[in-house]
Amino acid sequence: MNELDLVDRLRRLSLPSTDLILGIGDDCAIYRPRAGEELLFTTDQMIEGVHFTRKQPASSIGERALARSLSDIAAMGGEPRFCIVAMAAADTKWINDFYRGLLRLAKRTGTTLAGGDLARDEKVRCDVMVCGSAPRGKALRRDGARVGDSIFVSGRLGKPWDRRIEPRLELGKSLRGLATACIDLSDGLSLDLHRLCAASGVAAEIDRVPVMKGSSIERALHGGEDYELLFTGTKAPKGVTRIGRVVRGEAGKIQFQGRLLERRGYDHFYE
């Protein structure tokens, strides 16, 4: 199989889209924006030896690569529109399996594969850019938390790494006009809540955290890769847990059960 065959195959497998005037196969994809929409853009890398190993099935790596970016779209209250995938690998079977996993999730979430770039390299890596859409002015941001807001989290925290990511797209959409701020938990509650509070210029007090069965409070507070939504507001949909409240104080300072919570989440460049 050569690059042209691979690209042809992906073009046939990709979900059709009325907004995507031109998809895979030209120098650029062309997207025609809908009236009144704002577009959301996010990207996430998966690198062999850093984010995964070749022991894991390629299809689950493909699914995860898209899921991580979709989680960012969920955190902004967006609906996915399309994705663009850059990938380097040497094994065409691996690449096909990767795309099978990615395209399965893409189909389920209404995400069209619009294009990408392929390179040959022994070390596998990929980068998935997703474009999402939200009505003008309705996207959720991380800088709107207000003193007195409650803090909520979806699901239970402390996921083992190999657990499948289910991007919280429906929840994110339902938070439009309801949440004052929102972020997805990718680097751990302590670091991501700090980021939300720092952006909003507020502090927070956490009373309790819903811990996943078999996990620990440590992992729930500081472990990354939960991909649940953390948000603030006065009301919340059913099925989420109130974990604390937004308070006046040093921007980004977090207390857990009366004590200062260290930030020990994942920072690639912390030295």
Residues that bind its own copies (CB under 8 A): 1-4, 6, 21-22, 25-33, 37-45, 47, 49-51, 72-73, 75-76, 78, 84, 86, 88, 92, 114-121, 123, 125, 127, 129, 131-132, 134, 136, 139, 141-143, 183-184, 199, 267-271
In the complex with its own copies, the residue whose CB is nearer, 50 or 147, is: 50
Cα gap 99→62, rounded to integer Å: 6
**Which are the contacts of 88, defined by CB distance < 8 A and separation ≥ 6?**
118, 119, 120, 121, 123, 124, 125, 126
| Minimal distance, residue 74 CB to its own copies, in Å | 9
| Minimal distance, residue 43 CB to its own copies, in Å | 5
Two structure tokens written together for 130: 């997703």
| Minimal distance, residue 217 CB to its own copies, in Å | 25
Query: Which residue, 176, 215, 188, is CA-closest to 76?
Result: 176
In the complex with its own copies, the residue whose CB is nearer, 125 or 219, is: 125
Query: Which residue, 216, 224, 235, is CA-closest to 267?
Result: 224
Cα gap 213→218, rounded to integer Å: 13
In the complex with its own copies, the residue whose CB is nearer, 54 or 141, is: 141
**Which are the contacts of 144, defined by CB distance < 8 A and separation ≥ 6?**
180, 181, 200, 232
| Minimal distance, residue 257 CB to its own copies, in Å | 26
In the complex with its own copies, the residue whose CB is nearer, 239 or 269, is: 269
In the complex with its own copies, the residue whose CB is nearer, 20 or 204, is: 20
Cα gap 123→121, rounded to integer Å: 5
| Minimal distance, residue 45 CB to its own copies, in Å | 5
